Structure 1
Amino acid sequence: MRKSDLVFMVFLLVVGLYFYYYHFLITTAPVWIVDLKNCFIEMEFLPFIENHLNIFLYLFLLVISSVLIVKTVFVFFRSVKDYIELNRFINNNLHKKFKNLYIINSDQLIAFSTGFFKRKIIISRQILDIFSRDEKKNVFLHEVGHLKNGDSYKLFVFSILVNLFPKRIAERLLKDFSLLTEIEADMYCTSGRKKTDLANTVLRFYTYKTGLSVPMMNSYLSQRIQFLLGYLSYEDLKVERIYFSFAVVFIIFLLFSLVFNYCLCSMH
């Protein structure tokens, strides 16, 4: 199993637990609020605070997660809108079509895979005009790798659901997952071929001056070059460990919340 598939499955598991936990918070919140009101009347201020820290934490998490869920819904609709506009851009600038390969008119360096039910590879005429035959083959095979791995829909889903988490965590999760998909697409491209050839293509892609470009390799240039030159192996990418650790911490906290789902003053 590819690491990106494993990471994607773990991420979906965490998202499922996230919504389960949110349901727990939102259904138990009315009970907590009543308890807070009653205890506040009966107890002194400092003991009241000390014995209800967990409840305050749960209610705080309920507010934060509610905001993040609303944000995720907006991101979903914006992503759908962007996807529709992207397809409109492709159709309006289409030069030629060969099965799932779309050549578009553009003076920018554009190469990416997209689509859900009908996945396709988009390459600009600028690449065909300035790149050598081997370089064009590298670009094409890299995008075929994304296509075969199903990266377009996985990244679409991932980039939306990751907004359920705080910004810094979301950015780290998305960056690591995206890096994995790029490395695995490179692995497909270089299967039975020289990795240094793709490294040269990557460098030329990034160093070619044509104004604003949409790179076939969306960032992570340093890590990818290290991988292609043999300084970094696929096994060195420990991304799945980060996700497993994140999932374990989340599960432990969820279990803690389920066990201590009452104010601590009731224990005395």
Structure 2
Amino acid sequence: MSKRQSSFIFSLSLVISGTIFIQMALYIVSMLAGWNAKFNIVEVCHNWLKAIGMSSLEYALDALVIYTLLFSIWRIGSQFFYVSRLDKQFEQYKDNLLTEHMNQTHSSGKEDFLIVSNPAPIAITMGFVKPKIVISTGLINLLTDDELNAVISHEIYHKDNRDPLKIFLLSLCASTIGYIPILKWFNHQYRIIQEVLADEFAITKQETSINLGSALLKMLKVGKQEKMPFAYASFADTSVNYRIEYILNPLEDIKWQVPLKKAFLSLAVFILICAIFIYALA
């Protein structure tokens, strides 16, 4: 797996989703402002439904557009709400001395790390604008120094790559535009690739996979941490089987198979939308 594959999946997902979201947004503007959006593909769908005597489906189309946009707004709002609430909770359990030491050691004094007093082993990267790495005292007590450094390197890759934001954008697209099923596969595949790339970064930095592998096994023995209701990158709850396979044999590339049925169905839907748009411009 490579950075190129990750970038391709992310970019293609945004292109597909962005095309549909923009058209829906233009349609909403045209309804509210009375603007003539004759180049809008949803408006063309309206006219086409009228032409074949199925004008009653206009209301279903309106409902779909409004539902998609409102659901998107709700997902975005809930993300900021949960992140803000969890930030306050983390601040209550913040270990000031360990947080300062971690920031001085691994980020030259920048506030990139937050150490919280919690017996559960936690290592996540959260935040959209300024990603922050959250590590628990339970994790520090569980791992050796070398293992902890491997986990920190893994999370630093997620932070520098702004993975919490990218993961949220892909999950938003996949959940709100379910009629393009390949988007869900893109979302899942992106997470796998990014976890493997983060592991590769940590292994390269330490020049060994022993510390990363032992840290992962220790956290798995303790048990998976409870999933949180917002987008974040976690060390031990994503793509474990793929990662173990990579750690055991880093020279062998993990092959991924594109789900052909979902791909063809998604392509057909997207081509139909593009065809209607081209017809509107003609």
- Return the TM-score normalized by structure 2: 0.72
Aligned residue number for residue 150 of structure 1: 162
Q: Which of 122, 127, 131 does residue 119 from structure 1 map onto?
A: 131
Q: How has the CA–CA distance of structure 1 residues 140 and 17 changed in structure 2, closer, same or farther, with 3 Å as cutoff?
A: same
Deviations 1:15-70 (A, max 9, x none): 1211245443442355345435xx5xxxxxxxxxxxx7xx8888766643442332
The residue aligned with 1:102 is: 114
Q: CA 1:6/1:212 → structure 2, altered by over 3 Å: closer, same or farther?
A: closer
Change (3 A) 1:224 1:21: same
2:244 equivalent in structure 1: 225
Question: What residue number does 2:192 align with?
Answer: 179
Gaps of 5+ in 1: 40-51, 262-268
Q: Whole-Å Cα distance in 2 between the matches of residues 25 and 210 of structure 1?
A: 45
The letter for the 1-side match of 2:132 is K
Whether the 8 Å contact between 1:183 and 1:224 is mirrored in structure 2 is yes
Higher Cα radius of gyration: 1
Letter in 2 for 1:7: I
Deviation at 1:121, TM superposition (A): 1.0
Q: Structure 1, residues 168-205: CA drift from partner, whole Å, max 9, x if none?
A: 93543322121111111111111152224322221211
Tell me if 1:5 matches 2:7: yes
Tell whether the 8 Å contact from 1:93 to 1:105 is kept in structure 2 after alignment.
yes
1:160 is displaced (CA, Å) by 2.4
1:1-268 map, 5 Å: 1-22=3-24, 23=27, 24-32=40-48, 34-36=50-52, 39=53, 63-96=63-96, 97=99, 98=103, 99=110, 100-166=112-178, 169=181, 171-192=184-205, 193-209=207-223, 212=226, 216-230=235-249, 233-234=252-253, 236-237=255-256, 248-258=267-277
Counterpart contact for 2:95–2:116, Cα < 8 Å: yes
Give the CA deviation at 1:133: 1.3
Q: 1:30 to 1:2 in 2, by over 3 A?
A: closer
Partner-residue secondary structure (3-state), 2:236: coil
Q: Say which SS state the counterpart of residue 128 (structure 2) adopts.
A: coil
| Distance apart, 1:91 and its partner CA | 1.3
For residues 249 and 149 of structure 1, do their structure 2 counterparts lie closer, same or farther at Cα, with a shift above 3 Å needed?
Answer: farther
The answer to whether the 8 Å contact 1:113/1:152 transfers is yes
More displaced, 162-171 or 134-143? 162-171
Query: Structure 1 vs Structure 2: percent identity of aligned residues?
Result: 18
Q: Give how far 1:135 is off.
A: 1.3
Q: Which runs of 5+ in 2 are unaligned?
A: 28-39, 104-109, 229-233
TM-score by length of 1: 0.75
* 208-217 or 251-260, larger mean C-alpha shift: 208-217
Count of residues paired in the alignment? 245
Aligned in 2, Cα 1:155/1:56: closer, same or farther, shift over 3 Å?
same
- Cα distance in 1, alignment partners of residues 215 and 249 from structure 2: 16
